[in-house]
Amino acid sequence: MSFLDIRNVSFSYNQKRMVLKHIDLGVDKGEWVAILGHNGSGKSTLAKTIVGLLHPQEGAITVGGIVLSDETAYDVRRKVGIVFQNPDNQFVGVTVRDDIAFGMENLSVPRADMLEKIRFYADKVGMSDFLDKEPSALSGGQKQRIAIAGILAMQTEMIIFDEATSMLDPSSRRELMDYIRELHDEGLTIVMITHDIEEALWADRLVVLKDGAVFADDTAENLFKRPDAFREAYLELPAALRIYYEMEAAGDMTPPLAETLWRLGSGR
Amino acid sequence: MAIRFRQVSYSYPGYGFGTYEAIRDVTLDIAATGEFIALVGQTGSGKSTLAQHMNALIFPTEGTVEIFGSVVGPKRDKNVKYNELRRKVGLVFQFPEYQLFEETVEKDVMFGPTNFGIPEEEAREMARKALELVGLGSQYLRRNPLNLSGGEKKRVSIAGILAMDPAILVLDEPTSGLDPRGKKTMMDLFRSIRGATGKSIVVITHDMDLVYEYMDRVLVLDRGRLAFDGTPDDLFRRNDLERLHLDHPSTIRVLKAVSEKLGIDLDVYQKDIASAVRELAKAVRP
């Protein structure tokens, strides 16, 4: 069984429209999986079911061997944390220090232990100079790093990023992606929900959702060879590959151009 | 000119010690009709603060903003009808979907007009028209806004502002959180609203592809100062974009890389994929 194991999960908010339809998905320890899909495809709903914020009507979710239920939700949240799109919606503390402490307080971590962990993880995300600042005085990228520190402090093994970079400007976005790569290199399991195909290229595997179901589950390299599938899932290929396929269709492709465009588009 | 900024500065009070100057010495003009303007700059550069001056939501600390003939300065003026200005310049906040609260889409869009004293039947008609402008047909009227997708919610909130028939529309990051198709649909929507009504539209965005493909004019803010005011063409031909914390649009990036890698001459300044393909085909055809 995978570290995160989603079996036949279905969810509906109002019984009328199924938002998730029989989702089967496994994520192994240390893997980096990107979840792509059009607006309303069920990506964020899936993320919320994994951390027990929503209860699927059907199916089972297992994280690190624990089957998710009302009774185990706390244990599961120690293993998997979530960073949301809007950094302003996840701050509860008066200072950055309070905020990093929040998750640990819920887990009743002893105070001395907690202070040490706050220092350690604030330093890890490069924010130790900001512990006494108000979260509202930080930039979007800094806020997301504080959210990550709070999650790491609970010794979480997996983090779900739910469009966590979509509100950031290009330079903060690059900085956060570099940082996520470092965490991944250290063994953290990453699930990244994103609309940005160039960001998805960092993952080992791409899972494409369409209308609440898993539409494709493959490497970027393989998926890019199926431009029709991309269109069918209402997604957009990277610009270089859109140019690639149009040049090919027009019969204007040369081998060196094909190679260059493919490399640019697939990030190789 | 509909909106004139004259040497406008704005400081937020009480940010730790002293004040934090969000915009500095900004002077610019926006016409009432036909403009499609992008407001860009990195996080914290003052974009939202500048936008909030456009409908007198906040007052400048220094300088003046003239909005449809009324002068808004640092001090409140009894003769200026601020509510009227806020109706004339419709401001759509970032993540407006968090502000939806009525049980049906129709009621939510009617809220603004009703609040301004418009009779119920008339408000209902205005809501229906506004929803149609944003591409939501009558089947949406009775739906609960909370059960809509992110893109639909955004459109409902934009309809809520359009229902008040503003002269100018200002939107704070209306495409953030949307998928690529949703982004294009949203930009096409603004283009069609401008075409149908002639109203000027100002959009805050980080997406240079959209700026290049859709907009006529770009305002770049850099640490509160207006660092550029001109066409996207002129902006993206500059070689100091990095200093302004901006990226090139993806067509330019791809064509530049191809040109360097293959050593071929290309006019890299192409606004969309189709024109990039035409330029590339011209270069590689024997």
* B60-100 pLDDT tens trace: 999 999 999 999 999 999 999 998 999 899 998 877 767 77
Which pLDDT belongs to residue A91?
66
Residues B284, B186, single domain; the answer is: no
The CATH number assigned to the domain holding B23 equals 3.40.50.300
pTM attached to this predicted model = 0.86
In-domain check, residue B22: yes
pLDDT digit string, tens, across residues B127-163: 999 999 888 889 999 999 888 877 788 889 999 999 9
Domain-located, residue B216:
yes
Q: Chain-wide mean pLDDT for chain A?
A: 90
Whether domain A29-51+70-218 has CATH 3.40.50.2300: the reply is no
- pLDDT value at residue B211: 96
Q: What is the pLDDT of residue B90?
A: 93
Looking at the domain assignment, is residue B150 inside a domain?
A: no
Distance from CA of B275 to the nearest CA of A (A): 10
pLDDT, tens digit (0-9, with 9 covering 90-100), for B175-200: 887 888 888 888 999 998 899 889 99
Q: Is residue B176 part of a domain?
A: yes
Could you give the CA distance from residue A226 to residue A218 in angstroms, rounded to a whole number?
11
Domain limits at B22?
Answer: 3-103+165-241
Please tell me which residue, B219 or B173, carries the higher pLDDT value.
B219
Can you give the residue ranges of every domain in chain A?
29-51+70-218
Distances (CA, A) of B39 to A126, A262, B173, B188, B221: 30, 33, 9, 18, 8
Under 8 Å between Cβ of B186 and B96:
no
Rounded to an integer, what distance in angstroms lies between the CA atom of residue B49 and that of residue B43?
11
Q: Please, which pLDDT band fits residue B257 given cuts at 50, 70 and 90?
A: very high
Nearest Cα of chain B lies from the Cα of A201 at a distance, in angstroms, of 16
> Residue B70 forms beta bridges with which residues?
B67
Tally of domains within chain B: 2
Q: Which residue of A has its CA nearest to B280?
A: A247
Residues 6+ apart with CB under 8 A from A168: A140, A141, A144, A176, B43, B206
Q: Does A256 touch chain B (CB under 8 A)?
A: yes
Q: How far is CA B194 from the centre of its chain?
A: 12
Contact A40 B150 (CB under 8 A): yes
Residues of B in contact with A85 (CB under 8 A): 177
Q: Is the pLDDT of residue A94 over 90?
A: no
Cβ separation of A252 and B257 shorter than 8 Å? no
Residues B35 and B91 in one domain: yes
DSSP strand pairing (B62-67 vs B70-72)? antiparallel
Residues of A in contact with B242 (CB under 8 A): none
Whether residue B44 is found in the same domain as residue B81: yes
Average pLDDT of span A70-75: 90
Q: Which residue of B has its CA nearest to A261?
A: B258
Which of A85, A168, A242 has the CB atom closest to B177's CB atom? A85
Shared-domain flag, residues B92 and B179:
yes
With cut-offs at 50, 70 and 90, classify the pLDDT of residue A95.
Answer: confident
Report if residue B157 sits inside a domain. no
Residue contacts between A and B (CB atoms, under 8 Å): 105
The reply to whether residue B281 touches residue A247, judged by beta carbons under 8 angstroms, is yes
Give CA–CA dist A97/A3, Å, rounded.
Answer: 31
B17 and B64 fall within a common domain: yes
- Is residue B136 in some structural domain? no
Question: Are B18 and B82 found together in one domain?
Answer: yes
Query: A16 CB contacts (<8 Å, ≥6 apart)?
Result: none
Cα Rg of chain A (Å, integer): 20
The shortest C-alpha distance from B191 to chain A (Å) reads 21
Do B197 and B270 sit in the same domain of this protein?
Answer: no
Residue B128 lies in a domain: no
Residue B280: what pLDDT? 95
pLDDT tens, residue by residue, B13-43: 755 556 778 899 999 999 999 999 999 998 7
Same domain, yes or no, for B95 and B54?
yes
Question: Per mean pLDDT, which range of A58-67, A166-175, A218-227, B104-113 is the poorest?
Answer: A166-175
- Given this model, what pLDDT does residue A166 score? 80
Mean pLDDT computed over A34-51? 91
Do B271 and B191 sit in the same domain of this protein? no
Does some domain include residue B139?
A: no
- Minimum Cα–Cα distance from B95: chain A residue: A86
Question: Do both B181 and B265 map to the same domain?
Answer: no
Regarding whether B98 and B21 lie in a shared domain, the answer is yes
